[in-house]
Structure 1
Amino acid sequence: MRGKSWHTDHGDHAQPGILPKPVVHRMRRAALFERSGPGLITGAADDDPSGIATYSQAGAQFGANMLWIMFFLYPLMSSMQMISARIGRVTGHGLAANMRRIFPDWAVTGLVALLFIANTINIGADLAAMGAAAELVLGRGHHLFTLLFAVVSLTLQVLVPYHRYVRYLKWLTLVLFAYVGVVFTVEIDWGEVALRTVTPQLALTGETATMVVAVFGTTISPYLLFWQASEEVEDDEADPTTDPLIDHPEQAPVQLSRIRWDTYIGMAFANLVAFFIILTTAVTLHGLTEIETSADAAEALRPIAGDLAFALFSLGIIGTGLLAVPVLAGSAAYAVCESRGWAIGLEHKPREAVGFYTVIGLATLIGVAVDYSDLDPIRALFWSAVLNGVISVPLMAAMMIVVSRKDEMGQFVASFRLRLMGWFATTCMAAAAFTMFVLS
């Protein structure tokens, strides 16, 4: 067990000055309604600029025929995020640390390198999109705003504990519900929407397969899997009333129940917004061969925002970007430092975790270089989602091996149903990536 004191009496009475365990649990549950848990924050970060761009592309190019995918993905993404959270809460360590105990060093290093590459590209695409979104409103300063957002994000990560400023940033994600509002301001054939959701008309082409991989990759992203496990560990270490479940199994009913509803609600939020982004762009932009610029994507909000569509779109992109970039950089840092045995944690001061913050800085600064490439921000976002869809496959397979091993998870090996869903999700991701490569 880690060096954290154990404060709760397991007898009939609490220790003097310590609240009885049921009271502590009631207080903690109430507190969770006031602040997002790892699952809810992960769900909000899932609809990052890459997600907005990818879902917009799906709706514009394929119309309502891509709506089915969000219903299909909900149980799969929920299962994978639940497995991630379970590994963190049971073992008291993140994914990379657990993989390090099972797999050869070269394999873990390779997986972590893939994550770092994918996250760095995603960070760059997100920052570039944030700069382009700001330029939509102000008319200039794309590169300047990209650099400014990078500096702001990096400064917040280094100087302010993430749990403190995320309380404010998460409210910016409510802008995404504008996509829900649009569908009630335009005429929609809901019968046709339901029909296309249940029986999509899609030709099996390289373009279709690439879009499916992109949607899979932006919905079940490697960085979100690493992030939720590590945040469970950080939440555990910050709470003196809890410890890793493998050391104190009596806490399992409360903690595993919390993980379930926290994850289900967080993923439901993410998928609901994604569904309406696809639907909104399907009814407002369908017919566009491709969304090429931020201005094209912003047009989807014109029915509800009019001339303020660019401002509303920009606020959504910037808000979700400021929420997602720390998750991207942080998950890369968790993975690299766990695989090397270095000090980790966003609650640490920089001098206490030099390697951790160095990785965050490098990931962010290298990501800025994407803004100076020839790739349009919207296209960069889309292809970062495709890359995530490919890289997710080996990472998900490694996770499934970890959560299935009794020497790692003890009595908290994932249930047969959860393992079945996890392997099914991994197989679906692999099949989609393979089909894309064959058809392309």
Structure 2
Amino acid sequence: MSTPSASATAPAAPAKARWWSKLGPGLITGAADDDPSGIATYTQAGAQLGYGVGWTLLLTYPLMMGIQLASARIGRVTGKNLTETFARFCPRWMVATLVSLLLVANVINLGADLSAMGDSAALVLPGRPAWYAVGFGIVSLLLQVFLPYERYVRVLKWLTLSLFAYVGVVFAVDVDWAAALRGTFTPDFHWSRAYVTTVVAILGTTISPYLFFWQASQEVQEIKRVAADHPLRVAPEQARTQLRRLRIDTAVGMGFSNLIAFFIITAAAATLHAHGQSRIETTAQAAAALKPIAGDLAFWLFALGVLGTGMLALPVLAGSAAEAVASYFHLRKGLDLTLARGRSFYAILAAAMLLGVGISLSGLNPISALYWAAVINAVISVPVMVAVMIAASSPAVMGQMVLPHKWRLLGWLATAAMAAASVALGVVSFT
């Protein structure tokens, strides 16, 4: 009897995972960073100051990498989200303060995002902005409650493609690329209230507390979703593969976020600023102002981009707030829960969304609300970032997998930058 050949008996080598499959929490987090609040902030920055603020995005990319990687690493190593991790070394009153700051910022952001989405929908469809704001809030809530987590993550992943609308806007308008590159690589800082507030708003919308909480919690959700995965503290043999994936995912996600932000600033500078339209009151006004300057294509891309990024950001904002609050009160949590098993978690999530809807209906100026939501995020980020960096650097929390020195340095630099920006805002506000 013939002996089977080696090729016939050897097990087939596992197919190499495609690069797209390695992207998940980091990509979704980075894309959600360019929510309507971010779009409003970048548009306002480009309209007011032109190409001269492009340099901020070269600064924010490595700083975002440092703090987001620290947050994600905490989730993957410990199997705990940030609220649970903070509770290990912070007094309960301090954890309550951090969670409260996150909740306030997220609810304001939800309301501002829904207002912007309602305005944008009313530009391209018949009806009142308020109707659309309420509708988007309800649809997003229903998707989070009733769509299984694994399918919902795939939806969020595809929604990241909506950000390419802003790449299309740039190529639909006439950009002075020499000026854009000068503004990016040769900073021209001005000590004025308008300039400092704009820089702080850019920092606040790119380095926001909800992003830290969301990416850490999504790493925890991935551990639960994939049967073979375990927290790295109890499965160190998985560390090499998982930490490499985490670095790639975070680098791509944060790079994508900052690249899109650059395109939004550039588009606003090339159109609105170049034509003397430096004061933008609503996202509808921003989109409408593009129409006579850049044509119908830019108008449609801008308006539809707000809707796509909004639908991506709403679950990130509501979900990160609900997880933090549920964790503080030791309730079951997670978008993988059925409604029957996660009633308390989904009640918190629904309350956050409904409060956001209420804010959107309050008559607040959408651009002002979005812009100041970014400033608020910048100010409250500092204590949260300090807690993240302490946790990520602590052997008691992370075991042998504390954050490496180079990433620790970037994380603390990000924290220092946010603190300095907040102090600078205070100085120019009272002088």
Fold equivalence (TM over 0.5): yes
Amino acid at match of 1:408: V
Does 2:173 match 1:192?
no
User: Any conservation in 2 of the 1:146–1:371 contact (CA below 8 Å)?
Assistant: yes
Question: What CA distance in whole angstroms lies between the structure 1 residues aligned with 2:158 and 2:398?
Answer: 35
What value does the CA root-mean-square deviation take over the aligned residues?
Answer: 2.0
| 8 Å Cα contact 1:58-1:278 kept in structure 2 | yes
Q: Matches of residues 135-150 of structure 1 in structure 2 within 5 Å?
A: 135-150=122-137
Equivalent residue for 2:355?
366
Q: Answer with 308-317 or 231-240: which moved more.
A: 308-317
What CA deviation, in whole Å up to 9, does each residue of 1:327-383 have, x standing for no partner? 101000111112222111101012212221111011000111112223211221111
SS of the residue aligned with 1:352?
A: coil
Matched, 1:53 2:40: yes
The corresponding residue for 1:215 is: 202
Q: Which of 273, 277, 282 pairs up with 1:293? A: 282
CA shift at 1:304, angstroms? 9.6
Query: Displacement of 1:194 after TM fit?
Result: 1.9
CA distance in 2, matches of 1:34, 1:86: 19
> How far did 1:318 drift?
1.2
Instruction: Please tell me whether residue 412 in structure 1 is matched to residue 401 in structure 2.
Output: yes
Is the Cα–Cα contact under 8 Å of residues 46 and 224 in structure 1 kept in the other structure? yes
Paired position in structure 2 for 1:64: 51
Residue 313 (structure 2) aligns with: 324
- Partners of 2:163 and 2:253 in 1: CA distance: 14
Q: Pick from 357, 379, 385 the counterpart of residue 390 of structure 1.
A: 379
Do 1:185 and 1:303's aligned partners in 2 also have CA atoms closer than 8 Å? no
State whether structure 2 residue 323 is matched by structure 1 residue 345. no
User: Per the alignment, do residues 300 and 169 of structure 1 end up closer, same or farther by CA in structure 2, a change over 3 Å counting?
Assistant: farther
- Separation of aligned partners in 2, 1:124 and 1:256: 35
C-alpha contact 2:208 2:381 (8 A) present in aligned 1: yes
Q: Structure 1 residues 412 and 303, CA, compared in 2 at 3 Å: closer, same or farther?
A: farther
Which secondary structure state, in structure 2, belongs to the residue aligned with residue 244 of structure 1? coil
2:34/2:260 contact within 8 Å kept: yes
Change in CA separation of 1:376 and 1:84 when aligned onto 2, cut-off 3 Å: same
Return the alpha-carbon distance in structure 2 between the equivalents of residues 281 and 381 of structure 1. Answer: 16
CA apart distance, 1:437: 1.1
- Contact 1:133/1:294 (CA < 8 Å) preserved in 2? yes
Instruction: Give aligned pairs, total.
Output: 417
Partner of 1:171: 158
Q: How far apart in 1 are the matches of 2:159 and 2:329?
A: 35
Residue 340 of structure 2 aligns to a residue whose secondary structure is helix
Given that 2:75 and 2:220 are in contact with CA atoms closer than 8 Å, whether structure 1 keeps it comes out as yes
The CA deviation at 1:201 is 2.6
Q: Which residue of structure 1 aligns with residue 421 of structure 2?
A: 432
Q: Any runs of at least 4 consecutive aligned residues in structure 1 with deviations exceeding 6 A, and if so which?
A: none
Q: Establish whether residue 314 from structure 1 lines up as the match of residue 303 from structure 2.
A: yes
Give the counterpart letter for 1:58 in structure 2.
A
Partners of 2:21 and 2:394 in 1: CA distance: 35
Contact 1:185-1:304 within 8 A present in 2 as well: no
Structure 2 gaps, min length 5:
1-10
SS at 2:296's partner residue?
Answer: helix
Q: CA deviation at 1:305?
A: 7.0
Point out the more displaced range, 318-327 or 99-108: 318-327
Identity of aligned residues (%): 53
Structure 1 alignment gaps of length 5 or more:
1-18
Aligned to 2:222: 235
Check the 8 A contact 2:175/2:267 in 1, yes or no: no
Alignment of 1:200-211 (within 5 A): 200-211=187-198
1:411 partner SS: coil
Moved more, 205-214 or 289-298: 289-298
> How big is the shift at 1:108?
0.1
TM-score computed with the length of structure 1 as normaliser = 0.90
Distance 1:189 1:319 in 2: 28
Distance 2:153 2:408 in 1: 32
- Counterpart of 1:102 (choices 89, 101, 111) is 89
CA displacement 1:103-148 (0-9 Å, x = unmatched): 0000000000000000001011111111111111125311111111
TM-score, with structure 2 as normaliser: 0.92
Q: Which residue of 2 aligns with 1:5?
A: none
Cα separation, partners in 2 of 1:313 and 1:183, compared to 1, 3 Å: closer
Mapped contact 1:213–1:386 kept (Cα < 8 A): yes
The answer to whether the 8 Å contact 1:182/1:304 transfers is no
* Aligned counterparts of 2:144 and 2:294: Cα–Cα separation in 1: 33
Task: Find the residue that maps to 1:246 and give its secondary structure.
Answer: coil
Shift of residue 170, structure 1, vs aligned partner: 4.0
CA distance in 2, matches of 1:375, 1:89: 39
- Could you tell me whether the CA contact under 8 Å between 2:116 and 2:282 is conserved in 1? no
